[in-house]
A and B are shown apart, each in its own frame.
Chain A
Amino acid sequence: MKLRLTLWRAIFLVIMVLGLYSSFIRYFRGLGAVSNMTDQFPWGLWIGFDCLCGVMLAAGGFCMVGAVYLFNVERLHAVVRPAVLTAFLGYLLFIVGLLFDLGRPWFIWHQMIYMNFHSVMFEVGFCVMTYTTVLFFEFLPNVFEALKWTTPIKWIKKIYPVLIVAGILLSTLHQSSLGSLYLIMPSKLHPFWYSPALPFFFFASAVAVGLAMTIFESTQSAKAFGRQLELPVLVTLGGALLIALWVNVLLRFEDFFHRGLLRQVFTPSYEAYFLWLELILTFVIPIIILSFKKARLSPQWLYLASIFTVLGFITNRLNIALIGFETYVGHHYMPKWTEFSITLMIIAIGFALFGLAVRYLPIFETEPGHKLEQPEHIGVRTGVLSHAGD
């Protein structure tokens, strides 16, 4: 145990050192020196992964807040806090990622004064900014509880309905708008991925990934931090994930069907291979797993299904952001190692901050006096835990 911990720390250290070196190149030698982005490929890994995937991976926050506070699904109460924490960190790191990708990050605040209402990018930026503020307030009670400040918690509780509705509204808007970013490129993006329905796909996939990420991180952190998790939570999430995946499948199929692409989808080509990879990871594997009742009741299988879902939709977004442009551009884009290293550094910081927050804040504790408490669950919890994330 001790050895593993130091190994992780060593990896973290290496990632940080390489990341800092790359950051130095980024800010003192420029974007051209740090990345393989060119005039033909102006958006690379940082937009494709850090932004498109980052925001999607943080979708668990609004999904769980919606489930618990909007629809009153009490069972899921235990995962709201970790989900909100993940979302809050995710959005903060998304902004950090932007500071690397933007050519003139020192003018990022221009977003707030030179507003172009016709720009999808403006809408995304504005929503992300306000939603991060909402997440901050949703996260704040953790800090106040740790400090035992009861009065400010009462204040935040008072505005909670507003925070919840605003948070879900803003999430709906910018999750879908990330897809709208690509609507203006019908002549550039490959027809497999360019669709007028992109905003719907982005929202639907965000919900699926939000659920999958919650399963993933609950299991993962249960394992890593020796925390406890109820099986009913995972089972509920797994059921919801299956429904969300089916909705995604139907949307994608309808889209391919109506645009007459079905034949092309099954004809081998460079793009088709990446599409198949994406479809197998997002739909085929997780849906097969989750179709078995036995798997839906097993933490290990749920964990596995959630991993495939997440990997699948990451592939989907990278296909949209990178692979889908290669035919138009006429050459491949492969990120430079420094690009990878900065992305890795941001992810590593995310993990570290999550670890710190879990250690010092009451993230995994249900609120005092809450229904889902103590005795009858303990048996299930320990049972789940010993197998979690195998």
Chain B
Amino acid sequence: MSKAILYDATMCIGCKQCEGACAQQNKLPYDDTVAAESVQSAHKYTVVLTKNDKFMRRLCMHCEEPACASVCPVGALHKTKSAPVVYDVWKCIGCRYCMVACPFGQPKYEWGALNPRVRKCIMCPDRLVAGKQTACAEICPTGATKFGERDDLINEAKDRIRQNPSNYLPHIYGLNEVGGTSILIIAAANVEDYGYPSSARIGDTPMPEYTGRVMERIPDFIPLWTLVLGGIYWVSHRRDEVAAAEASEKNGSAR
């Protein structure tokens, strides 16, 4: 049901064709200068990084329970059933809470624009609806970026690690991190070396739960606190009224 991308860093040859295909799909400029940029930005949703002759792709992880979508005050970001976390620019007010909240630091901003947008990989939702795979997966010459059913890809990742244990670290990044993501990564090197947050750092708890624990109390808190405040008001003013009534009785003045 739910789709995913499996990125196998050991199969990646660093050709950066995924970068180009992504740019073309999202109508972003792509030339040698952009290709040389090793950071993601408002005009580069995905990047292939090189370290010690090993490659690693970075892109939006499309969390199962995305922090960005939960924090957006106007619901401009949401998780679709099939996997993509998409962005409705016409709702966005530009508060950038999504950028601050994302544990992977994925949403980027058009800082130079006068009507700026949040930019990130949206996992080609139009292509998915049309039954196609993402642009990056389609163009990948080695199959390092593979598109498919999340459950199938998890099994495949496990198989690959089992069959070639010396080639991989025994961990599927994204399987459980922050409650699971739609991007799954297996590699020989630590993902942290390429700027990903470590699994220990982000944990397996979905990010929205951290705020949910507080937010879910609010519906109970409002009537309760209103009653308490109203009660205090009533008591402290009742005391005045009684005192005034008693005083007027004593004075015998009939008001």
A residues neighboring B (CB under 8 Å)? 27-33, 37-40, 42-43, 69-72, 101-105, 107-108, 110-111, 114-123, 125, 161, 164-165, 168-169, 172-173, 180-181, 183-188, 196, 199
Contact = CB atoms under 8 A, between A and B. Distances in A.
Contacts of B103: 185, 187-188
Interface class of chain A by DSSP: helix
Nearest to B205: A186
Contacts of A165: 226, 229-230, 233
B202 A102 contact: no
Contacts of B233: 69-70, 161, 164-165
Contact of A42 (B109, B113, B213, B222): B109
A168 B103 CA distance: 34
Given A38-B111, A165-B233, A121 B94 contact: no
Give the interface size class of chain B. Answer: 35 or more
Contact of B94 (A104, A164, A172, A184): A104
B93 A110 contact: yes
Interface of B: 40-42, 67, 70-76, 91-97, 99-101, 103, 105, 108-109, 111-116, 197, 201-203, 207-208, 210-215, 218, 221-222, 225-226, 229-230, 232-233, 236-237, 239-240
A155 to B, nearest CB: 19
A169 B223 CA distance: 10
Contact of A119 (B72, B108, B112, B197): B72
B93 A187 contact: no
A77 to B, nearest CB: 13
Nearest to A186: B210
26 contacts: A28-B114, A31-B116, A38-B111, A39-B40, A70-B233, A103-B109, A103-B116, A104-B116, A105-B94, A116-B70, A118-B211, A119-B70, A119-B72, A120-B71, A121-B72, A125-B73, A161-B230, A164-B229, A165-B230, A169-B222, A169-B225, A173-B218, A184-B67, A184-B210, A186-B203, A188-B100
A102 B94 contact: yes
Contacts of A33: 112
A187 B229 contact: no
A234 to B, nearest CB: 23
A119 B73 contact: yes
Contacts of A122: 73-74
A123 to B, nearest CB: 7
B109 A183 contact: no
Nearest to B200: A187
Contacts of B94: 102-105, 107
A187 B201 contact: yes
A32 B111 contact: yes
B64 to A, nearest CB: 15
A199 B96 CA distance: 21
B240 A27 contact: no
A29 B197 CA distance: 33
Contacts of B212: 118
Which of A40, A101, A116, A186 gathers most chain B CB within 10 Å?
A: A116
Contacts of A180: 211, 214-215
B95 to A, nearest CB: 6
Given A121-B97, A184-B67, 5 more contacts: A30-B111, A72-B240, A119-B75, A119-B97, A122-B73
B101 A123 contact: no
A42 B210 CA distance: 21
A32 to B, nearest CB: 3
A70 B221 CA distance: 19
Given A103-B116, A118-B70, A180-B214, A70 B96 contact: no
Nearest to B111: A32
Contacts of B116: 30-31, 103-104
A103 B226 contact: no
Contacts of B100: 42-43, 185, 188
Nearest to B99: A42
A43 B230 contact: no
Contacts of A196: 210, 213
Nearest to A101: B95
A48 to B, nearest CB: 12
Given A42-B96, A103-B96, A172-B225, A110 B74 contact: yes
A140 B112 CA distance: 41
